[in-house]
Amino acid sequence: MHNDLIVIDGLQYSNWSRGIFEQLREGGVTMVHATIVYHEQIRETLLRIAEWNRLFEQNGDLIMPVKSAADIRRAKMLGKVGVMFGAQNCSPIEDDIGMIEVMRELNLMIMQLTYNNQSLLACGCYEAEDSGVTRFGRQAIREMNRVGMIVDMSHSGERSTLDAIEISERPIVISHANPSSFHAAKRNKSERVLKALGESGGLLGFSLYPFHLKNGSDCSLEDFCDMVARTADLMGIEHIGIGTDLCQEQPLSVLEWMRNGRWSKEKDYGEGSKSNADWPRPLPWFRDSRDFPNLTAGLLARGFDRDDVARIMGLNWLHLLEDGLSPRSGP
């Protein structure tokens, strides 16, 4: 069954190489949302896009850029892995709302309003006080809705996330997180947020990053699939997908860039524990993208029918993107 599915990974940030692209294809992945930006500003973002252009040129037999939702179906037909650009922070637009349309024209399809900290748009999940979406943030969401850029609140605080759900006229995503009832990480989301997300037509991508899972790297496939089932009951089967947050073959310096950016001289340990100072040990049943078939098998074993497995593994993402990436005419 797995080979027939449209499989979408709602987020990865790997040290991209031909070997990793081969793993994606071997795992049956149709499209991956690739983070190209954490704290990079406009010029640096352009350099990341240029680097990807070279990767597409050098690996055109394996990967292709996703410039519209239709390209996802085309990638499946061609047997290639589609790559969709995303940003885990609002740094690519700096303080200029006009850059949202510019970045969308360069195929930046998804943007988080913040990454852990307070930004110009919203408040991150590590701040002590969440003041919600800012005045600039409200205007940015409106512009993202207009140009067809998906709002992502994966690293945002509770109030900011609820604000974004309410403000956005198009469904938003939490591309890579889990219910806080499953594991109480700051990055995971409350039942209140998940219910609001589902009721608004949005989507949650379940994370396989061990720090977001019960029992960490020892989380079992059965426990993971049980979490998926419980969340489906809460949100509705149409509003869940996968967002592995896989960070393959990255050096420790990249983890420090993700957490520290340029804002801190000291090491930021994320959840506040030095045990999180390095990359976690991979899950034994999800070591890399070649293990995607294990997810399909696990969901079937948990009792999901074939249609529901197809939704979770990719169709829910596809349907949201088919609507959300279409620009709107007019102001």
| Residue with the two structure tokens 């069954």 | 1
pLDDT value at residue 215: 95
Q: Angle at Cα 63 formed by Cα 252 and Cα 45, nearest 5°?
A: 50
Question: What are the structural domains, with CATH classification, of the chain?
Answer: 7-324 (3.20.20.140)
Q: What is the reported pTM? A: 0.96
pLDDT value at residue 50: 98
pLDDT value at residue 250: 85
- In 180-228, DSSP assigns E strands to 203-206
Decide: 56 and 81 in contact? Cβ < 8 Å.
no
pLDDT value at residue 274: 60
Residue type at position 46 = L
pLDDT value at residue 257: 83
- In the chain, DSSP assigns E strands to 8-12, 31-37, 63-65, 81-87, 108-112, 150-152, 173-177, 203-206, 240-242
Average confidence (pLDDT) per 10 residues, the chain, 331 residues? 95 96 98 96 98 98 97 98 98 98 98 96 95 98 98 98 98 98 95 98 97 96 98 98 94 84 81 68 96 98 98 98 89 53
In sequence order, the 6+-apart residues with CB closer than 8 A to the CB of 324 are 148, 150, 170, 171
